[in-house]
Amino acid sequence: MAVCLRTSRAIINSLQSKVGLLSMISQSSCWSSLTHHREPPFSSLKAQNVRDPDANFCDKATLYSSRRFESVKTEKQFNSPDDVDHYQILDFPGGKVAFTSEMRFISESPVERAHCYRVLDNDGQLILCSKFKKVSEEMAIKMYSDMVTLQTMDAFFYEAQRQGRISFYATTIGEEAINIASAAALTIDDLVFPQYREPGVLLWRGFTLKEFANQCFGNKADNGKGRQMPIHYGSNKHNYFTVAATIATQLPHAVGAAYSLKMDRRNACVITYFGDGGTSEGDFHAALNLAAVREVPVIFFCRNNGWAISTPTTDQFRSDGVVVKGRGYGIRSIRVDGNDALAIYSSVHAAREMAISEQRPILIEALTYRVGHHSTSDDSTKYRPVDEIEWWRSARDPVARFRKWIESNGWWCSEAESELRNSVKTQLLQAIQEAEKIEKSPLAELFTDVYDVPPSNLSEQEKLLRETIRRHPQDYPQDVPI
């Protein structure tokens, strides 16, 4: 559909008449619009005046309608027929492009990989001239304590699974900085849509060790009423949306939630987490696209930890990681060192401000390493070298790195360290022992919450089940309350 400048007026006229015709056609034979549906060239285009100073999102209705039909008139330059000199710039749907007579393919990979933002060096010392958001002593200590708690919690629950006390667990080892520092940079009003490796965000927000244990044991004190596997936490009180086992399905949810915040003009944003593997899912691409087109305040946080179960990133994508994909959707992005708590804190803080004030999505790629196995059902030594895992566990431990920084500030010492670790251990042991003893959800909870009120067919099925259990009690678990 190349448009020549000289016949611009004629084109405008025919375009406008076609718009009218199209709506007439649609009115009379509705279903034939299906064949048109892939190419309505007039209705849904946006002008390229994204930098329009009047584009204030508060004036939504008029803004959107004026934007939408701008490009039908194919830019204001048609009003002045003197602009015939611009041979090398022409208009296509979507805006102006400059022409070139050189056939140059854009390279599939950049000359240099996108740079990675970090604040602390490997020894936990501030890099000279590094720019970052300052963290107070109180905040830093809470961050560190929570990182230690998360680390300890992982160790204990993993052990509990190995002992057969819970059925499943997935650790967050190596990603403590991502979990805690990103949570610390947000407020409690910001909504969190996690994948499954972000319990630290919930921990930061106040979810207690007892509550974690209850969910893992699936007892009746669990928020989720024992309906989900361990680590599928959820708490509306903490604005942490229940983990679903499906990969990347939370990304469109996050966009929808951000859209809801935008409609209500709340001073809050949404953050959603996913791994490198999740970026291959269709939902990732569509969610990023949707967020950019709809200009919603959401932070897409990718934990690029190098592995999707046994699939390394080289088999997952061929781009320069995930950060470059942001530009593909028109999203501002940054790559950060995922094991550097301060870098994560600063970038999430900045991202949140941009997301809310400019009403735009932001993509953050945090490079890190998944030190633990994918889950308790996995043995990662089968597909990666043991010494690699060990190196990342010790030399690149984000918790140790952060500790070095707070120690060098004089905010922490080894006594505080042992006190913290002991206290957490005791609390965890107690939480696990208690959670184990609490009884499971009663039978009725099998049928509630499927709908708001149990319908007749479910009530019938419940009755039938109770009858069956009554007749054959020896075939059913004794410790589940009826």
Partner 1 sequence: MAAVFQGLGAATALSVSNSLDSRKFLVSSRKSLSERKASFLVVRSDGRVVPRSNARGRRAEQLITNAVATKPDSSAASTTSKPGHELLLFEALREGLEEEMDRDPHVCVMGEDVGHYGGSYKVTKGLADKYGDLRVLDTPIAENSFTGMGIGAAMTGLRPIIEGMNMGFLLLAFNQISNNCGMLHYTSGGQFKIPVVIRGPGGVGRQLGAEHSQRLESYFQSIPGIQMVACSTPYNAKGLMKAAIRSENPVILFEHVLLYNLKERIPDEEYICSLEEAEMVRPGEHVTILTYSRMRYHVMQAAKTLVNKGYDPEVIDIRSLKPFDLYTIGNSVKKTHRVLIVEECMRTGGIGASLTAAITENFHDYLDAPIVCLSSQDVPTPYAGTLEEWTVVQPAQIVTAVEKLCQ
Is-catalytic flag, 265?
no
Residues 283-312 that bind partner 1 (CB under 8 A): 283, 285-287, 289-290, 293-294
Nearer to partner 1, 48 or 289 (CB): 289
β-strand 307-308 against 298-304: which pairing, if any? unpaired
Q: For 25, list phi and psi in degrees, rounded to 5.
A: -60, -45
Nearer to partner 1, 419 or 449 (CB): 449
Look at residue 276 and give its three-state secondary structure. coil
224 touches partner 1 (CB under 8 A): yes
167 touches partner 1 (CB under 8 A): no
Is-catalytic flag, 329?
no
* Distance in Å from the first CA to the final CA of the chain: 69
Pick the catalytic residue from 6, 9, 86, 383: 383
37 touches partner 1 (CB under 8 A): yes
Q: Build a one-symbol-per-residue string for 99-118: x at contacts with partner 1 by CB under 8 A, - elsewhere.
A: --------------------
Interacting span for partner 1 (CB under 8 A) from 24-32, 123-131, 204-212, 337-345:
24-32
34 touches partner 1 (CB under 8 A): yes
Pick the catalytic residue from 238, 335, 370, 403: 370
* Cβ atoms of 263 and 233 closer than 8 Å: no
* Cβ atoms of 280 and 264 closer than 8 Å: no
Site for partner 1 (CB under 8 A): which residue of 1, 2, 61, 103?
Answer: 61
Residues 231-270 that bind partner 1 (CB under 8 A): 232, 234-236, 241-242, 244-246, 249-257, 259-263
Q: Indicate if the alpha-carbon torsion angle 186, 187, 189, 194 is positive or negative.
A: positive
Is-catalytic flag, 374?
yes
39 touches partner 1 (CB under 8 A): no
As annotated, the active-site residues are 370, 374, 383
Residues of this chain that bind partner 1 (CB under 8 A)? 23, 26-27, 30-31, 33-34, 37, 40, 43-44, 60-61, 64-65, 68, 191, 193, 222-225, 227-228, 232, 234-236, 241-242, 244-246, 249-257, 259-263, 282-283, 285-287, 289-290, 293-294, 448-453, 455-457, 459-460
